[in-house]
Structure 1
Amino acid sequence: MKKLLLFDFDDVDVHRLISSGAGLNETFRTLHPDPAAFSADEDKWITQYRQVYTAHGQPLIKSYPGAKEILEHLKASNIAVAIISNKGVSAVKTALENNGLFDCLPAEFIIGDNTPGAMRKPHPGSFEDVLVPLLIARGVQVEPKDVLVVGDTVADLKFAGNIGCRACWCRYGYGDKKECQDLKPAFTVDSLVEIKAIIMDQ
C-alpha cells in the first residue's frame, strides 16, 4: 500500500524558495520536517514528484497573455531567443508544446537543470558555457550588452547581473517584490506585450 505524507507548509517559505530559483532537492530538503529522512529517499521523492507534476501540474500551466505574440515577433525579427530554466528541459518543452509555443524557438536553445554543462541560476554557467557556444556554432556573435534577460524572480535578476547584461523584471510573477526592486532591473513590465516596445527602442 502506498503512503501519502501530508505536511503543513508555510506559504511564505514556499514562495521564497520559488523566487530564489531553488531546485527540487533543495526545496524538499528545506520544507521536509525531517531533512535526514528526505535525503535517505531523495531519488524516490524527486521521481514521484515529477510523475505527479506531469499528470496533474502540466495541464494547469497556461502561458501569460502576449507570450505567443512576442515570441513570434522576435522570431520574425531574427532575434535569437533562448529559455534558461532551473526546471528540467522536458518539463519546459511540454509546457511550450501544450501552449502552442514550441516552434517559436530552436529546441536546442531550451536549457534546463539536466542540460550538460548547465548550472542553476543565478550562476552564469548556463549562459557562458552552454548558450554562448550554441549561438556561436550558429554564426551568432553575442555580447552581454546585447542580451536582455526577462524574468520574474530574484534568481533571474541576479543571473542577468552575473552575466553582465540588462534585466527586465516581470513584476506579475513569483518574485519577491522588494528584493526584485532592490536589484534595480533596467526595465520593469506588467505584461509580456510591453517587452516588444523595449526591444524596438534598443
Structure 2
Amino acid sequence: MRPRQFDLIAFDWDGTLFDSTAIIVRCIQRAVVDVGGREPSERSAAYVIGMSLHQALAHAAPDVPADKYPELGARYRHHYAAHHDDLCLFEGVLPMLQALKARHHRLAVATGKSRRGLDEALHSAALAGVFDGSRTADETAGKPHPLMLHELMEEFGVAPARTLMIGDTTHDLQMARNAGCAAVGVSYGAHEIDGFHDLAPRFIAHSVRELHDWLQANA
C-alpha cells in the first residue's frame, strides 16, 4: 500500500461535505430582512459561510446595529431549523470518508458551525463515530484564525506537514496557510474559486468524485 502523505485530514462541513450552501444563503437573507436590514446579495451571504456567527452577521448585515445581532441570530436559526430535514451529505461523501478510514487517516471536522449544530448534523447524517475529532467556532477561534487546526494537531500529535485541510471557502484555505498546513479547495460550495489560487491549494476539486480520486492518489 502506498505510504500516507497526511496523517490528519480536516474537513470543513457546510459546502464541503454537507449540501447546505443554498439553504444557508436563503436563511441569512431572510433573517436580515426580518430585523429590518437590507437583504444581502447571494454572493455576500455565501461569502460569510464558514465564519463564526458573530463575524458572519457583521459582514452580511452591515446596516444592522450590533444590538440586534442576538435577534438576527435567532431569526437565522429559526429559518435554518425549518429546513433541517432538507439537508444531506453530498453524493459520494460517505464512501470517500470510508476509504480514508480504511487507510487509517485521522479524520476531523473544522467548521464555523456551533457545537450543537455540528452534533445535530453528524447525528442526522449517520456519521457518529466516523470522525476522530472536531472543532466548532463557538468553542475556539473562528476561521481564518489557525487555532482550530492547531488544537486538532495537538490532540492527535500530528505535525503541520502531515495535516491537510479541505474546504470550500477562502476562509478554510487561509486558515490552513496560517496553520502551516497543506490545503485542498472544492469549487462546488460557497465561494467562487477566483480567490483560491492566491492561497496555493494543492488541488481544486470540482466534484466529490474528483476529491475522492485525488485523495486516493495523493493523501
TM range (shorter): 0.7 to 0.9
Structure number with the bigger relative contact order (C-alpha 8 A, sep ≥ 6) is 2
The whole-number CA distance in structure 2 between the counterparts of 1:179 and 1:47 is: 31
Question: Is contact 1:154-1:176 (8 Å) kept?
Answer: no
The answer to whether the aligner puts 1:122 opposite 2:134 as a matched pair is no
Residue 152 (structure 1) shift: 0.7
Counterpart amino acid of residue 199 in structure 1: L
The whole-number CA distance in structure 1 between the counterparts of 2:137 and 2:190 is: 19
CA RMSD of aligned residues (A): 2.3
The answer to whether the aligner puts 1:94 opposite 2:123 as a matched pair is no
Residue 5 (structure 1) shift: 4.1
The equivalences for 1:30-45 within 5 A come to 30-32=59-61, 34-36=63-65, 39-45=66-72
**TM-score, L = length of structure 2:** 0.74
What residue number does 1:194 align with?
Answer: 210
Cα 1:9–1:101 change in 2 (3 A) is same
What residue number does 2:23 align with?
Answer: none
Question: Is contact 2:184-2:202 (8 Å) kept?
Answer: yes
How many residue pairs get aligned? The number is 185
The whole-number CA distance in structure 1 between the counterparts of 2:52 and 2:137 is: 8
What residue number does 1:14 align with?
Answer: 45
> Please, which runs of 5 or more residues in structure 1 have no aligned partner?
136-140
The answer to whether the aligner puts 1:133 opposite 2:154 as a matched pair is yes
The whole-number CA distance in structure 1 between the counterparts of 2:74 and 2:103 is: 40
> Please, which runs of 5 or more residues in structure 2 have no aligned partner?
1-33
Counterpart amino acid of residue 176 in structure 1: E
Residue 146 (structure 1) shift: 1.5
Question: Is contact 1:16-1:176 (8 Å) kept?
Answer: no
Residue 68 (structure 1) shift: 0.4
The whole-number CA distance in structure 1 between the counterparts of 2:56 and 2:180 is: 28
**TM-score, L = length of structure 1:** 0.80
Taking only the aligned residue pairs, the percentage that are identical comes to: 24
| From 156, 160, 166, the counterpart of 1:150 | 166
